[in-house]
C-alpha cells in the first residue's frame, strides 16, 4: 500500500514516518515544504518537497506516486498567526485541501485528515464526535471549512480530530507545555498557568497511532483521537513538576483573562474517545505516561 504524508517535517508527520519505518509493507512518500528535516533511515520511506498551496505541484506528486492513502497533517496551526494572516491561513488550511481533494478524487485515494478541537466554542466538554461545531477564532473557522469540503467530496475519507498535541522531534519549531514547565522550573523561574481551560492533551505518538489505525481499519467518518485525561494547563504543569521533582511553588494559578492573545481560545473542549477505542482499538497513554516518554526522549 502506498501512503502519502503531508507536513512530514512537523511533529505529527515525523512520528508517522517513525511509525511506518518499522512497517516495511507500506511504501511511504513523506512530503513537506522545504528540505527534509529528519533522518531517512528506512528503505520504505522517501521524501520529496511539496508546497500544498501550489495546485500543480500537488497534481504532479499524486500523478507520479499514485497513493492509495493520503494522511494530511500539514496546516497553519499557530492560532494567533491565523488571526493576523487570514489570507495565508485560508490558503494553507482550506485552498490546499481543495487541491488535495481534487487529486485524491481522480485516483480514488482514501483521505485521512487531521482536524482540531478548536472548531468548537468551548462552552462545554469533553465532546463526542456529533457535537455541533461553532468556532470562535479564524483557525477554527478554516479547519471547519476544510472538514466540510472533505465531507462533501466524493473521496473515501476519515477525519481525526485531536487536542493539544505534545511531543519531541527533530528540529522542533515549537515547544510544548511539558518542556516549558520543566525548563522554567529548573531555572527557578516563576510561571503563571491557567486553570480555567480544559483539554485532553495528546501525545504525538498516540495521534500517529490513531491515524495508522484509521488506515489499517479502512475506517471512514469522524473520530476523536486524543489523550484520555481531562486536564487544565495548571494540572499539566503540576504533574510535570511532580514527575521531575521540581519546585511547584513556582507555579502560580491564573485565568485566561490575564493573558493578551490575539485569538480567542475555547475555554473547555477535550474529547470522549470511546468510538476510537471501541472501533479501532485506540488506547492512548495517560498524561503521566506521556511525561515519562518525553523524559526518556530528552535523555
DSSP state string for 131-156: PPP--SSHHHHHHHHHHHHHHHSSS-
DSSP letters along 72-86, please? E------HHHHHH-H
pTM, to two decimals: 0.97
Distance from first CA to last CA of the chain, Å, rounded?
35
Supply 24's cell numbers. 516495511
Q: Quick one: pLDDT at residue 66? A: 98
Left if phi > 0, otherwise alpha if psi is -120 to 50, otherwise beta: which for 147?
Answer: alpha
Quickly state the pLDDT bin for 151 (edges 50, 70, 90): very high
Domains of the chain: 2-167+202-229+270-286 (3.40.50.720)
pLDDT digits (tens, 9 = 90+) for 188-236: 999 999 999 999 999 999 999 999 999 999 999 999 999 999 999 999 9
Tell me which residue of 61, 132, 58 sits closest to 92, measured CA to CA: 58
Residue 132 CB contacts under 8 Å (≥ 6 apart), including other chains: none
Please answer whether residues 62 and 109 qualify as being in contact, where contact means their C-beta atoms are separated by less than 8 angstroms: yes
How sure is the predictor about 95, in pLDDT bands with cuts at 50, 70 and 90? very high
Amino acid at each position: 500500500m502506498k501512503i502519502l504524508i503531508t507536513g512530514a517535517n512537523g511533529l505529527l508527520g515525523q512520528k508517522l514516518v517513525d511509525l511506518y519505518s518499522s512497517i516495511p509493507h507500506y511504501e511511504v512518500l513523506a512530503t513537506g515544504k522545504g528540505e527534509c528535516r529528519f533522518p531517512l533511515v528506512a528503505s520504505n520511506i522517501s521524501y520529496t518537497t511539496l508546497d500544498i498551496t501550489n495546485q500543480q505541484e500537488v497534481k504532479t506528486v499524486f500523478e507520479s506516486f499514485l497513493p492509495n492513502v493520503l494522511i494530511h497533517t500539514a496546516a497553519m496551526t499557530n492560532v494567533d498567526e491565523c488571526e493576523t494572516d487570514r489570507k495565508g491561513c485560508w490558503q494553507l488550511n482550506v485552498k490546499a485541501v481543495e487541491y488535495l481533494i481534487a487529486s485524491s478524487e481522480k485516483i480514488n485515494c482514501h483521505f485521512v485528515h487531521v482536524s482540531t478541537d478548536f472548531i468548537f466554542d468551548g462552552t462545554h466538554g469533553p465532546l463526542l464526535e456529533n457535537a455541533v461545531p461553532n468556532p470562535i477564532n479564524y483557525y477554527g473557522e478554516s479547519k471547519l471549512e476544510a472538514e466540510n469540503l472533505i465531507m462533501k467530496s466524493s473521496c473515501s475519507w476519515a477525519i481525526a480530530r485531536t487536542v493539544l498535541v505534545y511531543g519531541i522531534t527533530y528540529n522542533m519549531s515549537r515547544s510544548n507545555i511539558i518542556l516549558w514547565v520543566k525548563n522554567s522550573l529548573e531555572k527557578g523561574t516563576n510561571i503563571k498557568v491557567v486553570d480555567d481551560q480544559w483539554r485532553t492533551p495528546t501525545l504525538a505518538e498516540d495521534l500517529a497511532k490513531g491515524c495508522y489505525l484509521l488506515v489499517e481499519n479502512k475506517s471512514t467518518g469522524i473520530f476523536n483521537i486524543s489523550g484520555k485525561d481531562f486536564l487544565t494547563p495548571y494540572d499539566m504543569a503540576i504533574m510535570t513538576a511532580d514527575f521531575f521533582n521540581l519546585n511547584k511553588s513556582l507555579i502560580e494559578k491564573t485565568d485566561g483573562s490575564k493573558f493578551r492573545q490575539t485569538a480567542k481560545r475555547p475555554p473547555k473542549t477535550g474529547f470522549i474517545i470511546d468510538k476510537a477505542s471501541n472501533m479501532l482499538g485506540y488506547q492512548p497513554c495517560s498524561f503521566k505516561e506521556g511525561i515519562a516518554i518525553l523524559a526518556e526522549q530528552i535523555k
